[in-house]
């Protein structure tokens, strides 16, 4: 046998992959490096404005296995997608290298959200032999801050607020070692070289462990501590102490709005609340959101946590610091946003001491700058899934795909309350975290900053602005003054389109958009609307019987006004419990239509019911009336409701007549709980009746429920059950809030379809 036939050299081939999707800030490049080593390949990997380019060379079989593993074995937080894959000439490389990020090329940027501490880092935090034992800023490629520390993209340490901390020799070695799980972990830090805690408060100033101990001592003594977290400050106090909670409420001037509670672990939540699978799963999600869960009767929490409500907003520790605090305290802690009512969460130490000085007894600061705020995200389990009520730390920026490409980049400015911003270009839409209520100057300043910030980070300049149809919203005036073409999108169509875009498989919709007030086509205040059709082509087919609100905008905080509005509209003259004794002047103004705008808002009808049952004549926070009404209804059994008729108006639009509800709502012989339950049941049956009627006209339709009113779990779940009996499918929001926090995204979807139809 000839020797030449034995060892034909293995050919060297080279291949290049371009990966898109979530590939930055998730340990993707180190993963590629390890994978190449495992398959014995040479080459390089590089960040290029949000895309990752991989060049590998070696034997063809190894290249093929490597290519398959790039997506299949990617790190848990990564969501790579192969955009291009092509054979290229080999470069004769030895070894595999991570090249410095390139900042040229087109924008395919992904801004990674903040991630809660991972299991591996948690083990180090608790290991006395580890050099990061009890270090409150431990992190790795799989966890830690991202969105809140990034100053510019591409994502590298030098472009984050961690740039000011020079790595010590040990950290530098971990950062540079491809075999280490902190290889290129951009925010990596240790007690020697990283951020530190600082205490200001009772017992004097302290640092590090001393600061943590002082904060815990203050909490144990019943004090209120402002703690700087990942996206801003929290106010913490003992959640079992009536006195501490009462003090927090008095100082924050927040008499009744529910307070979130931070628990050491899932077992501690189970001791005070009933958890179904959806709630338990949501609490343990890497974003560590606040999840609204039903309280057990003898929960042992202070009565003032959520007055009049049957639920508590629970969350688990998300940062190492929060783990240390909850382990150290050993019991649930109130953890409410460190802000002044309605304002964005406070992020800077000086600002915190200035704005929260009258609220907190002490401040637990740290020196890792927060580049932009991110409040806690909030979810509520409804119909077997946790639905978003608020986007924030860990869930935003929310990246969504559009059904087709936009002709040019747009910026959608959303609504007025629960503001968010959406930037969209090509087939991408990005929704910002919760900004706040735009009555407040600080929220307006943050809105303007984020609008510029998002465009700069993603390298996209909006060519057109989208805004609500309401002429007086801050966001409308801002969009019209910005010097770009601006387009108005009607409020409830934006709600409907946001929902529809989340369910692209649905072809025929009947969407009910029920909320507080939003500006309608006819200049009246809508909010009980039903649309047939699809995005860009919604036909309003039904609404509530309109009524006039005595005192206009003041009705939002004074449900007794809505109660008088429905009574007077129905021709009934009777006092409302908790309302003023003398309503003569108001009645006269209402009769002349002065400061008494017409509305068809379901939210105001819920307010009216909350006042008529005596549950909430005056609200101390937005939505208090409907929330108390739902909680009361959930405590009662099924109640026989009055039937509510849908009547066709001259304009062809069906109007739900709520007047038959009024005698039952005002019937003081029945408990408020029973009246509230009958109210919910009557509306759920009315929704089912409308859908049944529309399904005869448009067979095969699917019902969508959106707008703030359908965050009501009881109402949504009863609608679902009743429509199920009719064989009609129902869809609810999945990732985009169904309330005004979803308006900006809905504006993008609505404009896309109207524009490219």
Nearest CB to Zn ion, comparing residues 142 and 711: 142
The dihedral built from the CA positions of residue 208, 315, 348 and 50, taken in this order, carries a sign that is positive
Residue choice 192, 427, 587, 726 for contact with Zn ion (CB under 5 A): 192
Residue 185 vs 639, nearer CB to Zn ion: 185
Helix 602-612 and helix 559-569, axial crossing angle in degrees, nearest 10: 100
Site membership for Zn ion, residue 185 (CB under 5 A)? no
Contact string (CB under 5 A) for Zn ion, positions 108-147, x = contact: ----------x--x------------------x-xx----
Residues 70, 57 contacting (CB under 8 angstroms): no
In the complex, least distance from residue 207 CB atom to Zn ion, rounded to whole angstroms: 17
Least Cβ distance, residue 77 to Zn ion (angstroms): 10
DSSP helix/strand/coil, 414: coil
Rounded to the nearest whole angstrom, what is the least distance from the CB of residue 74 to Zn ion in the complex? Answer: 17
Nearer to Zn ion, 145 or 708 (CB): 145
Say how far apart CA 466 and CA 737 lie, in whole Å.
18
In the complex with Zn ion, which residue's Cβ is closer, 37 or 168? Answer: 168
Measured from the CB atom, the residue of 144 and 623 that comes closer to Zn ion is 144
C-alpha distances in Å from residue 303, one per residue of 10, 249, 390, 624, 658: 74, 12, 25, 17, 35
Rounded to whole angstroms, the Cα distance separating 694 from 711 reads 23
Shortest separation between residue 649's beta carbon and Zn ion, angstroms: 60
- Which of residues 117 and 706 has its CB atom nearest to Zn ion in the complex? 117
Euclidean distance between CA atoms 28 and 582, whole angstroms: 68
The beta strand positions in 316-395, using DSSP E, are 333-337, 362-366, 378-382, 385-390
Would you give the binding string for Zn ion spanning residues 71-110, x where CB under 5 A is met?
----------------------------------------
Minimum separation from the CB atom of position 170 to Zn ion (A): 5
Quick one: which of 82, 83, 168, 659 contacts Zn ion (CB under 5 A)? 168
User: 740, 707, 231: which is closest to 437 by C-alpha?
Assistant: 740
User: Can you read off the two tokens belonging to residue 594?
Assistant: 């002065």
Closest separation in Å from C-beta 374 to Zn ion:
19
Among positions 82, 98, 107, 193, the unique one binding Zn ion when judged by CB under 5 A: 193
144 vs 518, beta carbon nearer Zn ion: 144
Query: Taking CB under 5 A as the rule, does residue 171 contact Zn ion?
Result: yes
Nearest approach, Cβ of 368 to Zn ion (angstroms)?
14
Please give the size of the binding site for Zn ion, defined by CB under 5 A. 10
Residue owning tokens 């703690």: 227
Residue 69 structure tokens: 């593993």
The total number of residues shown for the chain amounts to: 757
Q: Does 52 help bind Zn ion (rule: CB under 5 A)?
A: no
Task: Output 195 or 338, the one with its CB closest to Zn ion.
Answer: 195
3-state secondary structure of 428: strand
Which of these ranges, 164-172, 359-367, 402-410, 512-520, lies near Zn ion under the rule CB under 5 A? 164-172
Q: Which is nearer to Zn ion, 367 or 717 (CB)?
A: 367
Gap between the Cα atoms of 106 and 28, Å rounded: 20
CA pair distance 380, 387, nearest whole angstrom: 5
DSSP 295: B
Burial (CB count <10 Å: 0-12, 13-18, 19+), residue 348: middle
CB of 324 to Zn ion, least distance (A): 15
Name the β-bridge partners of 425.
428
Q: Give the pair of three-digit tokens for residue 585.
A: 């002047």
Burial of 592 (0-12, 13-18, 19+ CB in 10 A): exposed
Q: Which is nearer to Zn ion, 185 or 406 (CB)?
A: 185
Smaller CB distance to Zn ion: residue 181 or 685? Answer: 181
Which one, of 572, 575, 583, 520, lies nearest residue 546 by Cα?
Answer: 520
Q: Considering the complex, what minimum distance in angstroms separates the CB of residue 393 from Zn ion?
A: 16
- Return the SS3 of 201: coil
Question: Under the criterion CB under 5 A, does residue 190 sit at the interface with Zn ion?
Answer: yes
CB of 189 to Zn ion, least distance (A): 6
Of 107, 169, 114, 164, the C-alpha closest to 142 is 114
Query: Which of residues 192 and 427 has its CB atom nearest to Zn ion in the complex?
Result: 192
In the three-class reduction of DSSP (H, G, I as helix; E, B as strand; rest coil), residue 610 is classed as helix
Determine if 164 is a binding residue for Zn ion (CB under 5 A).
no
- Give the closest residue to 382 by CA, choosing from 32, 714, 76, 7: 714
Binding mask 644-683 for Zn ion (x = CB under 5 A): ----------------------------------------
In the complex, minimum distance from the CB of residue 115 to Zn ion, in angstroms, rounded to a whole number:
8
CB of 120 to Zn ion, least distance (A): 5
What are the residues binding Zn ion (CB under 5 A)?
Answer: 118, 121, 140, 142-143, 168, 171, 190, 192-193
């Amino acid at each position: 046998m000839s020797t030449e036939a034995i060892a034909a050299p293995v050919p060297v081939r080279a291949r290049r992959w371009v990966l898109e999707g979530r590939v930055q800030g998730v340990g993707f490049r180190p993963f590629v490096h390890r994978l190449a080593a495992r398959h014995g390949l040479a080459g390089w990997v590089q960040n290029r404005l949000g895309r990752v380019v991989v060049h590998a060379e070696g034997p063809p079989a190894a290249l093929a296995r490597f290519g398959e593993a790039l997506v299949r074995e990617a790190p848990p937080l990564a969501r790579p997608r192969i955009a291009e894959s092509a054979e290229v000439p080999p470069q004769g490389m030895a070894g595999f290298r991570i090249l410095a990020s390139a900042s040229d090329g087109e924008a395919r940027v992904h801004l990674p959200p903040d991630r809660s501490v991972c299991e591996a880092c948690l083990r180090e935090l608790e290991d006395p032999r580890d050099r990061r034992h009890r270090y409150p800023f431990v992190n790795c490629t799989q966890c830690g801050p991202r969105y809140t520390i990034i100053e510019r993209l591409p994502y590298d340490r030098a472009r984050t607020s961690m740039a000011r901390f020079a790595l010590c020799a040990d950290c530098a070695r971990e950062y540079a070692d491809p075999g280490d799980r902190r290889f290129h972990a951009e925010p990596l830090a240790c007690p020697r070289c990283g951020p530190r805690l600082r205490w200001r408060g009772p017992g004097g100033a302290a640092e590090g462990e001393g600061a943590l101990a002082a904060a815990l001592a203050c909490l144990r003594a019943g004090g209120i501590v402002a703690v700087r977290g990942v996206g801003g400050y929290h106010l913490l106090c003992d959640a079992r102490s009536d006195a501490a909670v009462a003090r927090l409420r008095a100082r924050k001037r927040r008499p009744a709005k529910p307070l979130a509670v931070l628990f050491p672990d899932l077992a501690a939540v189970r001791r005070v609340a009933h958890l179904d699978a959806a709630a338990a799963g949501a609490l343990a999600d890497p974003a560590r959101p606040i999840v609204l869960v039903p309280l057990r009767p003898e929960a042992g929490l202070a009565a003032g946590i959520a007055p009049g409500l049957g639920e508590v907003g629970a969350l688990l520790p998300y940062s190492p610091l929060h783990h240390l605090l909850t382990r150290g305290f050993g019991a649930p802690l109130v953890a409410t946003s460190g802000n002044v009512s309605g304002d964005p969460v406070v992020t800077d130490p000086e600002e915190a001491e200035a704005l929260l000085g009258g609220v907190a007894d002490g401040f637990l600061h740290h020196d890792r700058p927060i580049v932009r705020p991110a409040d806690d995200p909030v979810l509520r389990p409804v119909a077997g899934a946790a639905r978003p009520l608020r986007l924030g730390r860990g869930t935003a920026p929310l990246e969504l795909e559009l059904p087709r490409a936009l002709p040019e980049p747009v910026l959608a400015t959303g609504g007025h309350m629960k503001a968010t911003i959406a930037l969209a270009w090509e087939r991408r839409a990005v929704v910002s975290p919760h900004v706040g209520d735009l009555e407040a100057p600080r929220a307006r300043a943050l809105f303007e900053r984020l609008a510029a910030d998002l465009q700069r980070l993603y390298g996209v300049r909006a060519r057109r602005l989208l805004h609500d149809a309401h002429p007086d919203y801050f966001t409308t005036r801002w969009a019209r003054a910005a010097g770009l073409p601006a387009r108005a999108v009607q409020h409830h169509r934006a709600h409907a389109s946001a929902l529809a875009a989340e369910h692209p498989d649905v072809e025929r919709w009947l969407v009910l958009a029920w909320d507080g007030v939003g500006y309608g086509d006819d200049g009246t205040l809508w909010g009980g609307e039903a649309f047939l059709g699809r995005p860009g082509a919604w036909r309003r087919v039904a609404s509530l019987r309109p009524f006039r609100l005595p005192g206009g905008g003041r009705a939002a905080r004074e449900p007794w006004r809505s109660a008088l509005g429905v009574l007077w509209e129905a021709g009934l003259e009777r006092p409302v419990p908790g309302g003023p004794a003398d309503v003569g002047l108001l009645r006269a103004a209402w009769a002349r239509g002065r400061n008494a705008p017409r509305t068809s808002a379901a939210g105001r009808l819920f307010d009216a019911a909350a006042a008529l049952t005596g549950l909430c004549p005056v609200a101390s926070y937005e939505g208090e009336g409907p929330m108390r009404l739902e909680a009361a209804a959930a405590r009662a059994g099924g109640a026989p409701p009055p039937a509510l008729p849908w009547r066709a108006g001259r304009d062809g639009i069906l109007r739900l007549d709520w007047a038959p509800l009024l005698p039952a709502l005002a019937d003081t012989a029945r408990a408020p709980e029973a009246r509230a339950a009958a109210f919910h049941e009557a509306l759920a049956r009315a929704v089912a009746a409308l859908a049944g009627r529309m399904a005869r006209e448009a067979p095969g339709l699917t019902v969508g429920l959106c707008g703030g009113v359908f965050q009501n779990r009881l109402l949504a779940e009863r609608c679902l059950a009743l429509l199920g009996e009719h064989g009609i499918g129902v869809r609810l929001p999945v990732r985009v809030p169904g309330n005004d926090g979803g308006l900006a995204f809905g504006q993008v979807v609505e404009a896309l379809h109207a524009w490219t139809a």
